[in-house]
Amino acid sequence: MIDHVYISVSDVEKSKDFYVAALKPLGWTAFGNFDASAAPTGVPDLFGIGDATYVGGGLGSSIWLRQREPGETGLYVGIVCDSNDAVDAAYAAAISAGGIDEGKPADRTHFAAGYYAANVADRDGNRLEFVHKAWHDK
């Protein structure tokens, strides 16, 4: 299952209006911003839009809009993992297959307690985040 997708846009405010309107008939709603000021370097400010399950705290899907950086290309997709061990295994397999490390498996408490993830990129700059959210284990 896809947990989340980051979409890099040239104008977050205009894009926010577009995505909120386009996804509203499907039950998606805006649920807020992530202020990266307390996050590690490289984590961007984000604006979140989620399906009803995600917004309700369940295992659903979300889109996060972020400001595009000059020269930025590629896609960012978060893939749901059932455990921290699954995150570790997917990360190791991706690195063994030629992936580029963009964040070894670790707790990412700057997002939320119980958020464990690893990040890799392919040779074209597309990025994957393998993520386990402990609150979905209940």
pLDDT band for position 70 (50/70/90)? Answer: confident
Express each pLDDT in 14-63 by its tens digit: 888 988 987 787 788 999 889 889 888 888 889 999 999 989 888 889 99
β-bridge mates for residue 64, sequence order: 6, 48
Q: What residues are paired with 103 via a beta bridge?
A: 119
Mean of pLDDT values over 97-107: 93
Q: Which of 7, 32, 53 is nearest to 112 (CA)?
A: 32
What is the per-residue pLDDT across 114-126, written as a single tens digit (0 to 9) for each?
999 999 988 878 8
- The per-residue pLDDT for 137 is 80
- Rounded to an integer, what distance in angstroms lies between the CA atom of residue 111 and that of residue 114? 9
Percentages helix, strand, coil for the chain, rounded to the nearest 5? 30, 40, 35
Give residue-wise pLDDT tens across range 72-86.
777 889 898 989 999
d(CA 114, CA 134): 5
Instruction: Write down the pLDDT at residue 84.
Output: 96
